[in-house]
Structure 1
Amino acid sequence: MSPGRRVRVAKCQMLATCFLVVLLALCVATFVTVTYFGAHMAVIHQVSPGRNPYEESHRWAFYLGTGLAGILATGAVLSAAATVREAQGLMATGFLCFALAFCALVQVVLWRLHHPTQVEEAALDTFDLVYDRALRTTSGAWQRELAAIQDAFLCCGKRSPFSFLERTGANHCHGAGAPREDCLEGIRSFLWTQQKVDLALLSTALALTVHALLLSSFLWFAIRTCRGLHRRGKYALTPRQPPPESVLPLQSRR
Protein backbone atom coordinates (compact mmCIF):
# COMPACT_ATOMS: atom_id res chain seq x y z
CA MET A 1 0.00 0.00 0.00
CA SER A 2 1.36 3.41 -0.96
CA PRO A 3 2.03 6.06 1.74
CA GLY A 4 -0.75 8.27 0.42
CA ARG A 5 -3.29 5.45 0.61
CA ARG A 6 -2.19 4.56 4.14
CA VAL A 7 -2.67 8.16 5.26
CA ARG A 8 -6.12 8.34 3.65
CA VAL A 9 -7.17 5.13 5.40
CA ALA A 10 -5.81 6.44 8.72
CA LYS A 11 -7.70 9.72 8.31
CA CYS A 12 -10.97 7.89 7.63
CA GLN A 13 -10.40 5.65 10.64
CA MET A 14 -9.59 8.65 12.84
CA LEU A 15 -12.81 10.44 11.88
CA ALA A 16 -14.87 7.30 12.55
CA THR A 17 -13.06 6.73 15.85
CA CYS A 18 -13.66 10.33 16.95
CA PHE A 19 -17.37 9.94 16.21
CA LEU A 20 -17.52 6.76 18.30
CA VAL A 21 -15.55 8.40 21.13
CA VAL A 22 -18.01 11.31 21.24
CA LEU A 23 -20.90 8.85 21.48
CA LEU A 24 -19.06 6.96 24.20
CA ALA A 25 -18.46 10.17 26.15
CA LEU A 26 -22.17 10.95 25.99
CA CYS A 27 -22.99 7.44 27.22
CA VAL A 28 -20.52 7.72 30.10
CA ALA A 29 -21.84 11.15 31.12
CA THR A 30 -25.43 9.90 30.95
CA PHE A 31 -24.64 6.76 32.94
CA VAL A 32 -22.85 8.54 35.79
CA THR A 33 -25.51 11.27 35.93
CA VAL A 34 -28.37 8.75 36.08
CA THR A 35 -26.47 6.75 38.68
CA TYR A 36 -25.71 9.77 40.83
CA PHE A 37 -29.14 11.43 40.67
CA GLY A 38 -31.22 8.27 40.19
CA ALA A 39 -33.80 7.25 42.75
CA HIS A 40 -32.00 4.06 43.78
CA MET A 41 -28.64 5.51 44.73
CA ALA A 42 -29.97 8.92 45.75
CA VAL A 43 -31.82 7.46 48.73
CA ILE A 44 -28.58 5.91 49.98
CA HIS A 45 -26.56 9.00 49.14
CA GLN A 46 -28.95 11.27 51.03
CA VAL A 47 -28.26 9.66 54.40
CA SER A 48 -26.92 12.32 56.74
CA PRO A 49 -23.23 13.22 56.17
CA GLY A 50 -20.76 11.65 58.55
CA ARG A 51 -22.86 8.49 58.91
CA ASN A 52 -22.80 7.33 55.27
CA PRO A 53 -19.84 5.16 54.14
CA TYR A 54 -21.20 5.17 50.57
CA GLU A 55 -21.17 8.95 50.12
CA GLU A 56 -17.44 9.36 49.42
CA SER A 57 -17.17 6.60 46.81
CA HIS A 58 -20.42 7.75 45.18
CA ARG A 59 -19.21 11.34 44.76
CA TRP A 60 -15.75 10.20 43.62
CA ALA A 61 -17.26 8.01 40.89
CA PHE A 62 -19.46 10.87 39.66
CA TYR A 63 -16.60 13.38 39.40
CA LEU A 64 -14.31 10.85 37.74
CA GLY A 65 -16.95 9.81 35.20
CA THR A 66 -17.87 13.34 34.19
CA GLY A 67 -14.23 14.39 33.97
CA LEU A 68 -13.35 11.36 31.87
CA ALA A 69 -16.27 12.02 29.53
CA GLY A 70 -15.15 15.62 29.09
CA ILE A 71 -11.56 14.61 28.31
CA LEU A 72 -12.67 12.00 25.78
CA ALA A 73 -15.03 14.41 24.03
CA THR A 74 -12.38 17.15 23.91
CA GLY A 75 -9.78 14.78 22.48
CA ALA A 76 -12.20 13.51 19.86
CA VAL A 77 -13.21 16.99 18.70
CA LEU A 78 -9.61 18.22 18.53
CA SER A 79 -8.41 15.12 16.70
CA ALA A 80 -11.24 15.35 14.16
CA ALA A 81 -10.47 19.03 13.51
CA ALA A 82 -6.76 18.24 13.21
CA THR A 83 -7.49 15.44 10.74
CA VAL A 84 -9.60 17.67 8.51
CA ARG A 85 -7.27 20.69 8.68
CA GLU A 86 -4.05 18.66 8.90
CA ALA A 87 -2.96 20.75 11.90
CA GLN A 88 0.02 19.44 13.82
CA GLY A 89 -0.69 21.35 17.04
CA LEU A 90 -4.31 20.22 17.26
CA MET A 91 -3.29 16.63 16.64
CA ALA A 92 -0.73 16.80 19.45
CA THR A 93 -3.34 18.26 21.82
CA GLY A 94 -5.81 15.51 20.90
CA PHE A 95 -3.11 12.91 21.53
CA LEU A 96 -2.47 14.42 24.96
CA CYS A 97 -6.18 14.24 25.83
CA PHE A 98 -6.35 10.59 24.80
CA ALA A 99 -3.20 9.86 26.81
CA LEU A 100 -4.73 11.43 29.93
CA ALA A 101 -7.93 9.45 29.39
CA PHE A 102 -5.92 6.25 28.97
CA CYS A 103 -4.03 6.84 32.23
CA ALA A 104 -7.31 7.49 34.07
CA LEU A 105 -8.88 4.33 32.61
CA VAL A 106 -5.87 2.25 33.64
CA GLN A 107 -6.14 3.60 37.19
CA VAL A 108 -9.84 2.70 37.28
CA VAL A 109 -9.08 -0.83 36.05
CA LEU A 110 -6.38 -1.30 38.68
CA TRP A 111 -8.70 0.03 41.39
CA ARG A 112 -11.46 -2.35 40.28
CA LEU A 113 -9.06 -5.29 40.39
CA HIS A 114 -7.81 -4.48 43.88
CA HIS A 115 -11.19 -3.39 45.30
CA PRO A 116 -13.84 -5.35 43.41
CA THR A 117 -16.50 -5.15 46.15
CA GLN A 118 -15.78 -1.79 47.81
CA VAL A 119 -18.79 0.02 46.35
CA GLU A 120 -21.11 -2.87 47.12
CA GLU A 121 -19.85 -3.16 50.68
CA ALA A 122 -20.23 0.60 51.22
CA ALA A 123 -23.84 0.54 50.01
CA LEU A 124 -24.68 -2.50 52.14
CA ASP A 125 -22.99 -0.98 55.20
CA THR A 126 -25.06 2.15 54.72
CA PHE A 127 -28.28 0.12 54.60
CA ASP A 128 -27.21 -1.85 57.69
CA LEU A 129 -26.57 1.41 59.51
CA VAL A 130 -29.98 2.83 58.63
CA TYR A 131 -31.74 -0.46 59.33
CA ASP A 132 -30.17 -0.94 62.77
CA ARG A 133 -30.80 2.65 63.81
CA ALA A 134 -34.42 2.44 62.64
CA LEU A 135 -35.00 -0.70 64.73
CA ARG A 136 -33.16 0.44 67.84
CA THR A 137 -34.42 4.02 68.05
CA THR A 138 -37.75 5.75 67.76
CA SER A 139 -36.42 8.67 65.71
CA GLY A 140 -38.67 9.54 62.80
CA ALA A 141 -35.70 10.51 60.59
CA TRP A 142 -34.27 6.98 60.58
CA GLN A 143 -37.71 5.53 59.93
CA ARG A 144 -38.19 7.76 56.88
CA GLU A 145 -34.73 6.94 55.52
CA LEU A 146 -35.36 3.22 55.88
CA ALA A 147 -38.77 3.49 54.22
CA ALA A 148 -37.27 5.49 51.32
CA ILE A 149 -34.58 2.86 50.69
CA GLN A 150 -37.07 0.01 50.83
CA ASP A 151 -39.50 1.75 48.47
CA ALA A 152 -36.73 2.60 45.98
CA PHE A 153 -35.36 -0.96 45.80
CA LEU A 154 -38.79 -2.61 46.29
CA CYS A 155 -37.45 -4.64 49.19
CA CYS A 156 -38.27 -5.22 52.82
CA GLY A 157 -35.78 -5.51 55.68
CA LYS A 158 -33.13 -8.20 55.69
CA ARG A 159 -32.90 -11.81 56.72
CA SER A 160 -31.96 -12.34 60.32
CA PRO A 161 -31.54 -15.44 62.47
CA PHE A 162 -33.55 -13.69 65.17
CA SER A 163 -37.27 -13.83 64.48
CA PHE A 164 -38.15 -10.80 66.58
CA LEU A 165 -35.84 -8.59 64.53
CA GLU A 166 -37.34 -9.93 61.33
CA ARG A 167 -40.84 -9.13 62.51
CA THR A 168 -39.77 -5.67 63.62
CA GLY A 169 -38.22 -4.97 60.23
CA ALA A 170 -41.36 -6.11 58.46
CA ASN A 171 -43.36 -3.50 60.32
CA HIS A 172 -41.40 -0.79 58.50
CA CYS A 173 -42.43 -2.01 55.04
CA HIS A 174 -45.19 0.08 53.50
CA GLY A 175 -46.97 0.16 50.20
CA ALA A 176 -48.57 -2.39 47.92
CA GLY A 177 -45.23 -4.13 47.31
CA ALA A 178 -44.87 -5.43 50.87
CA PRO A 179 -43.85 -8.06 51.70
CA ARG A 180 -40.92 -7.85 49.28
CA GLU A 181 -37.53 -9.46 48.74
CA ASP A 182 -34.59 -9.05 51.06
CA CYS A 183 -33.03 -5.59 50.76
CA LEU A 184 -29.48 -6.91 50.82
CA GLU A 185 -30.23 -9.11 47.82
CA GLY A 186 -32.05 -6.28 46.06
CA ILE A 187 -29.14 -3.87 46.50
CA ARG A 188 -26.63 -6.51 45.35
CA SER A 189 -28.70 -7.27 42.25
CA PHE A 190 -28.98 -3.60 41.32
CA LEU A 191 -25.27 -2.95 41.85
CA TRP A 192 -24.36 -6.06 39.84
CA THR A 193 -26.35 -4.72 36.88
CA GLN A 194 -24.60 -1.39 37.19
CA GLN A 195 -21.20 -3.09 37.34
CA LYS A 196 -21.91 -4.97 34.10
CA VAL A 197 -22.78 -1.71 32.32
CA ASP A 198 -19.72 -0.07 33.85
CA LEU A 199 -17.48 -2.90 32.67
CA ALA A 200 -18.85 -2.68 29.12
CA LEU A 201 -18.26 1.09 28.99
CA LEU A 202 -14.79 0.70 30.49
CA SER A 203 -13.73 -1.97 28.00
CA THR A 204 -15.06 0.04 25.05
CA ALA A 205 -13.35 3.20 26.28
CA LEU A 206 -9.99 1.42 26.62
CA ALA A 207 -10.20 -0.07 23.13
CA LEU A 208 -11.21 3.21 21.47
CA THR A 209 -8.62 5.21 23.42
CA VAL A 210 -5.75 2.92 22.42
CA HIS A 211 -6.89 2.97 18.79
CA ALA A 212 -7.15 6.77 18.83
CA LEU A 213 -3.67 7.06 20.37
CA LEU A 214 -2.14 4.96 17.58
CA LEU A 215 -3.96 6.84 14.84
CA SER A 216 -3.20 10.29 16.24
CA SER A 217 0.51 9.49 16.62
CA PHE A 218 0.69 8.17 13.05
CA LEU A 219 -1.13 11.18 11.60
CA TRP A 220 0.98 13.60 13.63
CA PHE A 221 4.12 12.03 12.20
CA ALA A 222 2.64 12.15 8.67
CA ILE A 223 1.72 15.82 9.05
CA ARG A 224 5.16 16.66 10.42
CA THR A 225 7.02 14.93 7.61
CA CYS A 226 4.46 15.98 4.94
CA ARG A 227 4.19 12.45 3.60
CA GLY A 228 1.10 11.28 1.80
CA LEU A 229 -0.95 14.39 2.55
CA HIS A 230 -2.92 15.87 -0.33
CA ARG A 231 -2.73 19.52 0.60
CA ARG A 232 0.89 19.47 1.76
CA GLY A 233 3.96 19.73 -0.45
CA LYS A 234 6.37 22.03 -2.25
CA TYR A 235 5.32 23.91 -5.34
CA ALA A 236 7.50 25.79 -7.86
CA LEU A 237 6.16 28.90 -9.53
CA THR A 238 7.00 29.41 -13.22
CA PRO A 239 7.69 32.95 -14.43
CA ARG A 240 4.86 34.60 -16.23
CA GLN A 241 5.39 34.89 -19.99
CA PRO A 242 4.50 38.17 -21.65
CA PRO A 243 1.78 37.98 -24.28
CA PRO A 244 2.98 37.78 -27.90
CA GLU A 245 3.17 40.97 -29.90
CA SER A 246 0.59 39.72 -32.35
CA VAL A 247 -2.17 39.87 -29.75
CA LEU A 248 -1.24 43.27 -28.36
CA PRO A 249 -3.96 45.86 -28.95
CA LEU A 250 -3.33 48.24 -31.81
CA GLN A 251 -2.55 51.77 -30.80
CA SER A 252 -4.95 54.38 -32.05
CA ARG A 253 -3.60 56.63 -34.79
CA ARG A 254 -3.48 60.30 -34.23
Structure 2
Amino acid sequence: MGPWSRVRVAKCQMLVTCFFILLLGLSVATMVTLTYFGAHFAVIRRASLEKNPYQAVHQWAFSAGLSLVGLLTLGAMLSAAATVREAQGLMAGFLCFSLAFCAQVQVVFWRLHSPTQVEDAMLDTYDLVYEQAMKGTSHVQRQELAAIQDMFLCCGKRSPFSRLGSTEADLCQGQEAARKDCLQGIRSFLRIHQQVASSLTSIGLALTVSALLLSSFLWFAIRSGCSLDRKGKYTLAPRSPGQKSQWAQRVPF
Protein backbone atom coordinates (compact mmCIF):
# COMPACT_ATOMS: atom_id res chain seq x y z
CA MET A 1 0.00 0.00 0.00
CA GLY A 2 1.48 3.31 -1.11
CA PRO A 3 1.66 6.46 1.02
CA TRP A 4 -1.33 8.05 -0.74
CA SER A 5 -3.44 4.93 -0.13
CA ARG A 6 -2.53 4.93 3.56
CA VAL A 7 -3.46 8.60 3.86
CA ARG A 8 -6.78 7.96 2.09
CA VAL A 9 -7.61 5.09 4.47
CA ALA A 10 -6.58 7.20 7.48
CA LYS A 11 -8.82 10.05 6.32
CA CYS A 12 -11.81 7.73 6.02
CA GLN A 13 -11.10 6.26 9.44
CA MET A 14 -10.76 9.74 10.93
CA LEU A 15 -14.12 10.86 9.55
CA VAL A 16 -15.83 7.71 10.83
CA THR A 17 -14.19 8.15 14.24
CA CYS A 18 -15.33 11.79 14.40
CA PHE A 19 -18.88 10.68 13.59
CA PHE A 20 -18.89 8.17 16.45
CA ILE A 21 -17.36 10.73 18.80
CA LEU A 22 -20.19 13.12 17.97
CA LEU A 23 -22.66 10.34 18.80
CA LEU A 24 -20.77 9.72 22.03
CA GLY A 25 -20.95 13.42 22.88
CA LEU A 26 -24.69 13.36 22.24
CA SER A 27 -25.07 10.32 24.51
CA VAL A 28 -23.03 11.93 27.29
CA ALA A 29 -25.03 15.15 26.93
CA THR A 30 -28.27 13.18 27.23
CA MET A 31 -27.02 11.41 30.32
CA VAL A 32 -25.83 14.67 31.91
CA THR A 33 -29.21 16.28 31.22
CA LEU A 34 -31.09 13.35 32.71
CA THR A 35 -28.80 13.40 35.72
CA TYR A 36 -29.34 17.09 36.36
CA PHE A 37 -33.03 17.37 35.55
CA GLY A 38 -34.09 13.76 36.19
CA ALA A 39 -36.78 13.37 38.82
CA HIS A 40 -34.88 10.76 40.85
CA PHE A 41 -31.85 13.00 41.28
CA ALA A 42 -33.80 16.25 41.59
CA VAL A 43 -35.94 14.99 44.49
CA ILE A 44 -32.77 14.23 46.46
CA ARG A 45 -31.01 17.45 45.46
CA ARG A 46 -33.94 19.67 46.42
CA ALA A 47 -34.23 18.34 49.95
CA SER A 48 -34.43 21.31 52.33
CA LEU A 49 -31.49 20.57 54.59
CA GLU A 50 -29.00 22.88 56.23
CA LYS A 51 -26.26 21.00 54.37
CA ASN A 52 -27.23 18.63 51.61
CA PRO A 53 -24.38 16.10 51.11
CA TYR A 54 -25.51 15.31 47.58
CA GLN A 55 -25.56 18.84 46.14
CA ALA A 56 -21.78 19.24 45.91
CA VAL A 57 -21.30 15.86 44.23
CA HIS A 58 -24.20 16.54 41.88
CA GLN A 59 -22.83 19.93 40.80
CA TRP A 60 -19.33 18.53 40.25
CA ALA A 61 -20.65 15.66 38.10
CA PHE A 62 -22.76 18.07 36.03
CA SER A 63 -19.83 20.44 35.40
CA ALA A 64 -17.47 17.58 34.50
CA GLY A 65 -20.03 16.09 32.12
CA LEU A 66 -20.62 19.38 30.31
CA SER A 67 -16.87 19.96 29.95
CA LEU A 68 -16.39 16.50 28.49
CA VAL A 69 -19.24 17.01 26.01
CA GLY A 70 -17.73 20.30 24.88
CA LEU A 71 -14.26 18.82 24.37
CA LEU A 72 -15.54 15.79 22.45
CA THR A 73 -17.82 17.84 20.19
CA LEU A 74 -15.26 20.55 19.48
CA GLY A 75 -12.50 18.03 18.82
CA ALA A 76 -14.66 15.99 16.44
CA MET A 77 -15.81 19.04 14.46
CA LEU A 78 -12.34 20.56 14.16
CA SER A 79 -10.74 17.25 13.20
CA ALA A 80 -13.40 16.44 10.61
CA ALA A 81 -13.08 19.86 8.97
CA ALA A 82 -9.27 19.71 8.99
CA THR A 83 -9.31 16.18 7.56
CA VAL A 84 -11.54 17.12 4.65
CA ARG A 85 -9.53 20.23 3.85
CA GLU A 86 -6.17 18.59 4.65
CA ALA A 87 -5.31 21.47 6.93
CA GLN A 88 -2.83 21.53 9.78
CA GLY A 89 -5.72 22.48 12.07
CA LEU A 90 -5.74 18.80 13.02
CA MET A 91 -3.54 19.81 15.94
CA ALA A 92 -6.45 21.77 17.44
CA GLY A 93 -8.58 18.63 17.40
CA PHE A 94 -5.62 16.68 18.79
CA LEU A 95 -5.47 19.08 21.74
CA CYS A 96 -9.20 18.71 22.43
CA PHE A 97 -8.98 14.93 22.29
CA SER A 98 -5.97 15.00 24.62
CA LEU A 99 -7.89 17.02 27.20
CA ALA A 100 -10.93 14.74 26.82
CA PHE A 101 -8.71 11.69 27.31
CA CYS A 102 -7.18 13.16 30.47
CA ALA A 103 -10.65 14.00 31.81
CA GLN A 104 -11.88 10.46 31.21
CA VAL A 105 -8.80 8.96 32.84
CA GLN A 106 -9.49 11.19 35.85
CA VAL A 107 -13.07 9.89 35.97
CA VAL A 108 -11.83 6.29 35.86
CA PHE A 109 -9.34 7.00 38.64
CA TRP A 110 -12.05 8.67 40.72
CA ARG A 111 -14.39 5.70 40.21
CA LEU A 112 -11.68 3.27 41.29
CA HIS A 113 -10.59 5.37 44.26
CA SER A 114 -14.08 6.35 45.50
CA PRO A 115 -16.56 3.91 43.93
CA THR A 116 -19.37 4.66 46.39
CA GLN A 117 -19.06 8.44 46.80
CA VAL A 118 -22.22 9.29 44.85
CA GLU A 119 -24.15 6.45 46.47
CA ASP A 120 -23.03 7.48 49.96
CA ALA A 121 -24.00 11.11 49.31
CA MET A 122 -27.51 10.14 48.19
CA LEU A 123 -28.01 7.71 51.08
CA ASP A 124 -26.76 10.26 53.61
CA THR A 125 -29.20 12.82 52.22
CA TYR A 126 -32.07 10.35 52.50
CA ASP A 127 -31.05 9.48 56.06
CA LEU A 128 -31.13 13.14 57.07
CA VAL A 129 -34.52 13.72 55.47
CA TYR A 130 -35.85 10.53 57.05
CA GLU A 131 -34.69 11.38 60.56
CA GLN A 132 -35.94 14.97 60.38
CA ALA A 133 -39.32 13.81 59.11
CA MET A 134 -39.62 11.23 61.90
CA LYS A 135 -38.46 13.49 64.70
CA GLY A 136 -39.94 16.79 63.56
CA THR A 137 -43.47 18.04 63.30
CA SER A 138 -43.05 20.00 60.04
CA HIS A 139 -45.46 19.01 57.31
CA VAL A 140 -42.91 20.03 54.66
CA GLN A 141 -40.39 17.47 55.88
CA ARG A 142 -43.01 14.74 55.73
CA GLN A 143 -43.88 15.77 52.18
CA GLU A 144 -40.24 15.65 51.09
CA LEU A 145 -39.84 12.17 52.55
CA ALA A 146 -43.04 11.01 50.86
CA ALA A 147 -41.86 12.45 47.52
CA ILE A 148 -38.56 10.57 47.73
CA GLN A 149 -40.27 7.32 48.64
CA ASP A 150 -42.85 7.65 45.89
CA MET A 151 -40.14 8.40 43.34
CA PHE A 152 -38.04 5.36 44.23
CA LEU A 153 -41.12 3.19 45.00
CA CYS A 154 -39.81 2.37 48.45
CA CYS A 155 -40.77 3.00 52.06
CA GLY A 156 -38.66 3.56 55.14
CA LYS A 157 -35.46 1.79 55.97
CA ARG A 158 -34.85 -1.36 57.90
CA SER A 159 -32.09 -0.75 60.43
CA PRO A 160 -31.51 -2.61 63.70
CA PHE A 161 -30.02 0.57 65.19
CA SER A 162 -33.15 2.70 64.73
CA ARG A 163 -34.29 4.68 67.80
CA LEU A 164 -37.15 6.63 66.30
CA GLY A 165 -39.87 4.65 68.02
CA SER A 166 -43.47 4.10 66.99
CA THR A 167 -43.48 6.93 64.46
CA GLU A 168 -41.16 4.90 62.24
CA ALA A 169 -43.25 1.78 62.69
CA ASP A 170 -46.38 3.62 61.52
CA LEU A 171 -44.70 5.04 58.42
CA CYS A 172 -45.29 2.14 56.01
CA GLN A 173 -48.79 0.76 56.15
CA GLY A 174 -51.19 -0.70 53.64
CA GLN A 175 -49.81 -0.94 50.11
CA GLU A 176 -46.67 0.92 51.09
CA ALA A 177 -45.74 -1.90 53.46
CA ALA A 178 -45.06 -4.14 50.44
CA ARG A 179 -42.49 -1.72 49.03
CA LYS A 180 -38.79 -2.44 49.33
CA ASP A 181 -36.39 -0.71 51.66
CA CYS A 182 -35.40 2.78 50.42
CA LEU A 183 -31.70 2.18 50.95
CA GLN A 184 -31.90 -0.81 48.64
CA GLY A 185 -34.10 1.07 46.19
CA ILE A 186 -31.62 3.95 45.88
CA ARG A 187 -28.71 1.53 45.48
CA SER A 188 -30.50 -0.42 42.75
CA PHE A 189 -31.29 2.74 40.79
CA LEU A 190 -27.73 4.07 41.06
CA ARG A 191 -26.25 0.72 40.02
CA ILE A 192 -27.95 0.91 36.63
CA HIS A 193 -26.97 4.56 36.19
CA GLN A 194 -23.34 3.86 37.04
CA GLN A 195 -23.18 0.92 34.64
CA VAL A 196 -24.27 3.19 31.79
CA ALA A 197 -21.71 5.81 32.82
CA SER A 198 -18.93 3.21 32.94
CA SER A 199 -19.85 1.93 29.48
CA LEU A 200 -19.79 5.43 27.99
CA THR A 201 -16.43 6.12 29.64
CA SER A 202 -14.91 2.92 28.22
CA ILE A 203 -16.20 3.71 24.73
CA GLY A 204 -14.96 7.27 25.04
CA LEU A 205 -11.45 6.17 25.98
CA ALA A 206 -11.26 3.83 22.99
CA LEU A 207 -12.51 6.49 20.56
CA THR A 208 -10.29 9.27 21.86
CA VAL A 209 -7.18 7.07 21.69
CA SER A 210 -8.06 6.16 18.09
CA ALA A 211 -8.65 9.83 17.25
CA LEU A 212 -5.31 10.83 18.80
CA LEU A 213 -3.41 8.28 16.73
CA LEU A 214 -5.18 9.17 13.49
CA SER A 215 -4.76 12.91 14.08
CA SER A 216 -1.04 12.47 14.64
CA PHE A 217 -0.61 10.35 11.51
CA LEU A 218 -2.58 12.72 9.28
CA TRP A 219 -0.80 15.78 10.62
CA PHE A 220 2.62 14.32 9.88
CA ALA A 221 1.39 13.12 6.47
CA ILE A 222 0.16 16.59 5.55
CA ARG A 223 3.39 18.15 6.81
CA SER A 224 5.44 15.79 4.68
CA GLY A 225 3.33 16.49 1.58
CA CYS A 226 1.61 13.09 1.28
CA SER A 227 -1.79 14.64 0.55
CA LEU A 228 -4.53 13.66 -1.86
CA ASP A 229 -6.30 16.80 -2.88
CA ARG A 230 -3.45 19.20 -3.55
CA LYS A 231 -2.75 19.64 -7.27
CA GLY A 232 -0.06 22.27 -7.11
CA LYS A 233 0.00 25.91 -8.15
CA TYR A 234 0.33 27.24 -11.65
CA THR A 235 2.36 30.35 -12.37
CA LEU A 236 3.39 32.15 -15.55
CA ALA A 237 7.08 32.07 -16.31
CA PRO A 238 8.60 35.45 -17.18
CA ARG A 239 9.03 36.20 -20.90
CA SER A 240 12.47 36.07 -22.30
CA PRO A 241 13.58 38.67 -24.83
CA GLY A 242 12.37 37.91 -28.33
CA GLN A 243 9.86 35.31 -27.13
CA LYS A 244 6.18 36.04 -27.69
CA SER A 245 4.61 33.71 -25.08
CA GLN A 246 5.44 31.09 -22.55
CA TRP A 247 3.31 28.13 -21.46
CA ALA A 248 2.22 28.09 -17.87
CA GLN A 249 4.47 25.88 -15.86
CA ARG A 250 3.30 23.76 -12.99
CA VAL A 251 5.12 24.31 -9.75
CA PRO A 252 4.44 21.41 -7.37
CA PHE A 253 4.56 21.78 -3.61
TM-score by length of 1: 0.87
Are positions 1:181 and 2:183 aligned together? Answer: no
Counterpart of 2:96 in structure 1 is 97
CA contact under 8 A between 1:160 and 1:166: conserved in structure 2? no
Tell me the percent identity: 62
Counterpart of 1:126 in structure 2 is 125
Q: Please say which of residues 152-161 and 172-181 is displaced more in the overlay.
A: 172-181
Q: Unaligned stretches of 5+ in structure 2?
A: 246-253
CA contact under 8 A between 2:8 and 2:228: conserved in structure 1? no
Output the CA distance in 2 between the equivalents of 1:108 and 1:163: 36
Q: Please say which of residues 153-162 and 188-197 is displaced more in the overlay.
A: 153-162
Q: Please say which of residues 25-34 and 40-49 is displaced more in the overlay.
A: 40-49
What does 1:82-161 correspond to in 2, within 5 Å? 82-88=82-88, 90-161=89-160
Output the CA distance in 2 between the equivalents of 1:50 and 1:25: 36
Going from structure 1 to structure 2, the CA distance change for 1:61 and 1:162 (only over 3 Å counts) comes to closer
Residue 54 of structure 1 aligns to a residue whose secondary structure is: helix
Output the CA distance in 2 between the equivalents of 1:39 and 1:102: 30
Residue 160 of structure 2 aligns to a residue whose secondary structure is: coil
> Amino acid of the residue matched to residue 15 of structure 1?
L
> Amino acid of the residue matched to residue 144 of structure 2?
E
Q: CA deviation at 1:172?
A: 3.9
CA contact under 8 A between 1:102 and 1:206: conserved in structure 2? yes
> Over aligned residues, Cα RMSD in angstroms?
2.4
Output the CA distance in 1 between the equivalents of 2:32 and 2:95: 24
TM-score by length of 2: 0.88
Output the CA distance in 2 between the equivalents of 1:41 and 1:133: 20
CA contact under 8 A between 1:156 and 1:180: conserved in structure 2? yes
Going from structure 1 to structure 2, the CA distance change for 1:137 and 1:222 (only over 3 Å counts) comes to same
Query: Which structure would you say has the larger Rg?
Result: 1
Runs of 4 or more consecutive aligned structure 1 residues displaced over 3 Å after TM superposition: 162-167, 169-179, 233-243
CA contact under 8 A between 1:156 and 1:170: conserved in structure 2? no
CA contact under 8 A between 2:15 and 2:83: conserved in structure 1? yes
CA contact under 8 A between 1:159 and 1:166: conserved in structure 2? no
Going from structure 1 to structure 2, the CA distance change for 1:4 and 1:177 (only over 3 Å counts) comes to farther
Q: CA offsets, 1:146-203, max 9 Å, x none?
A: 0110010000000022688586335445896553110000000000000100000000
CA contact under 8 A between 2:28 and 2:200: conserved in structure 1? yes
How many residues end up aligned between the 2 structures? 241
What does 1:37-56 correspond to in 2, within 5 Å? 37-48=37-48, 50-56=50-56
> Amino acid of the residue matched to residue 134 of structure 1?
A
Counterpart of 2:197 in structure 1 is 198
Output the CA distance in 2 between the equivalents of 1:47 and 1:175: 26
Output the CA distance in 2 between the equivalents of 1:189 and 1:62: 21
Q: CA offsets, 1:90-139, max 9 Å, x none?
A: 21111111011011111111111110111101110110111111111111
Output the CA distance in 2 between the equivalents of 1:32 and 1:163: 36
> Amino acid of the residue matched to residue 221 of structure 1?
F
Counterpart of 1:22 in structure 2 is 22
CA contact under 8 A between 1:135 and 1:168: conserved in structure 2? yes
